Amino acid sequence: MKITIIGGGLAGCSLAYIFRQLGLKSVLYEAGPTLAGGASGNFAGLYNPRLSVLRGPESHLYASAFVMALRLFPKFDDIDLSLTGILHLLDDERKDRRLRQTVPNWSWPSDHMRLVTKGEASDIAGIPLDHDALYLPTGGSIAPQKLCARYVDGTEYHLNTPIEDLDDIDADIKILACGPAVQKFAPELPIIPVRGQISQLEASTTSSNLQCSLCYHGYILPAVEGIHTLGATFLPNSDNAEIDEMDDLENTQRLGMAIPALKECTNVIGQRASVRATSRDRFPVIGKAPGKDNVYVSAAHGSYGILSTLAGAHLLASMILDRPRALPKQVIKTLDPARFEKRAKAKEG
Ligand SMILES: Cc1cc2nc3c(=O)[nH]c(=O)nc-3n(C[C@H](O)[C@H](O)[C@H](O)COP(=O)(O)OP(=O)(O)OC[C@H]3O[C@@H](n4cnc5c(N)ncnc54)[C@H](O)[C@@H]3O)c2cc1C
């Protein structure tokens, strides 16, 4: 079976990895001069399940991907795996209500998810915190670009090779894993570009003590060689990947507001801007492309792509090879690219 993957970010590279694990050859085409030159090229990113109140179809995707990541990531060398744990600060009323319900509804063992008081959170973090938190002791971070490189070890790939027309490709299976550019091939899919910038922040004496990652309306990772990664701005309907100092300001202001102990931490010494993709319902788009034979999609991974691309790759491979699906039917329906069309028809009817 000839399998072609279009796009060399996390979505495309994780697919190449899964096919190789299953003993299948795939060929990957990347438009840019490097792998992970788009949204997947950040210095560091959190692997962190998207936390919903209920354990419904959305959370199943992230929970199962988290379990896969815990097993898989430690097997890779040189992905900057950092197993520091993540504290989600309950820093507004809505989040406080929501995440307090998440813990019993997800029922994960407390070694993987629990609520902590602000005193406990401060002890875990190594810096004073003003809020109780949801703690994920086994969450952490990796370098997405390095993960892509590990995923494609042993796969044939071609850089500087933009695919212009699906008919130009001689393959039995074609997979669109090209981020916001999926729209070019499947304009009916409501894929929305979302600009984002991460900042590199010089560590202060206080922030150097930070022992785990913190999530608020942004995130900060513990310093590596005196530098924190600080994320991330989120501007929907923008495909502008230029650096903007105002985004650094937004990132540092959010940090100071959520964690007053780090208010003085404002010295940004680097940054990276790129464009992620989301969908109209803010959920990934993974499955068979509507109305196209043998064309599949893995896109709209939003702000949680490190995990969703991995579970997405497993799902697509099981669909293409007609193997048992690890995810429940309801989750697969929620991810299905045809869902938008079905909803529009249902509304009309
Ligand atoms: C600022 C920021 C911070 C983030 N932080 C996190 C985080 O902490 N944790 C997390 O899980 N996620 C995070 N994300 C989200 C995550 O990075 C994305 O969900 C993920 O990278 C999406 O991967 P992708 O492969 O779908 O897209 P991309 O990485 O954008 O890859 C698509 C690739 O397709 C290529 N391409 C496009 N058109 C063509 C064509 N015609 N032919 C061939 N190739 C083509 C592009 O050049 C690109 O390399 C963040 C995103 C941003 C922007």
Q: Is 195 in the pocket of ligand 1 (CB under 6 A)?
A: no
Distance in Å, CA 238 to ligand 1 centroid: 14
CA angle 262, 263, 265 (to 5 degrees): 65
Residue of 66, 178, 200 best suited for mutating to test ligand 1, as the one with most atoms within 8 Å of CB? 178
CA angle 338, 343, 345 (to 5 degrees): 95
Q: Is 198 in the pocket of ligand 1 (CB under 6 A)?
A: yes
For residue 58, the model assigns a pLDDT of 87
Distance in Å, CA 87 to ligand 1 centroid: 25
Whether domain 3-41+145-190+281-348 has CATH 3.50.50.60: the reply is yes
State how far Cα 301 lies from the chain centre: 6
Q: Please check whether residue 93 is in contact with residue 218, taking contact to mean a CB–CB distance below 8 angstroms.
A: no
For residue 102, the model assigns a pLDDT of 97
Quick count: other Cβ atoms within 10 Å of Cβ 318? Answer: 17
For residue 347, the model assigns a pLDDT of 72
Q: Is 62 in the pocket of ligand 1 (CB under 6 A)?
A: no
For residue 6, the model assigns a pLDDT of 98
Distance in Å, CA 123 to ligand 1 centroid: 35
Give the architecture-level CATH label for domain 86-137+192-279.
2-Layer Sandwich (3.30)
Task: Report which ligand 1 atom has the smallest distance to the Cα of 141.
Answer: 8
Of 327, 335, 330, 334, the C-alpha closest to 63 is 327
Q: State the pairing for strand pair 191-202/45-47.
A: unpaired
Q: Inter-axis angle of helices 305-320 and 144-151, to 10 degrees?
A: 20
Q: Per-block average pLDDT, block size 10, for the chain (349 residues)?
A: 97 98 97 98 95 90 97 97 97 96 96 98 98 98 98 98 96 98 96 98 98 98 98 97 98 98 97 98 96 96 98 98 94 96 76
Of 91, 268, 95, 298, the C-alpha closest to 197 is 268
Task: Report which ligand 1 atom has the smallest distance to the Cα of 44.
Answer: 8
Q: State the pairing for strand pair 295-299/285-288.
A: antiparallel
What gap in Å lies between CA 228 and CA 15, rounded to an integer?
Answer: 30
Instruction: Take residue 340 and report the two structure tokens written for it.
Output: 């938008």
Please state the domain extents for the chain.
Answer: 3-41+145-190+281-348, 86-137+192-279
Q: Is 46 in the pocket of ligand 1 (CB under 6 A)?
A: yes
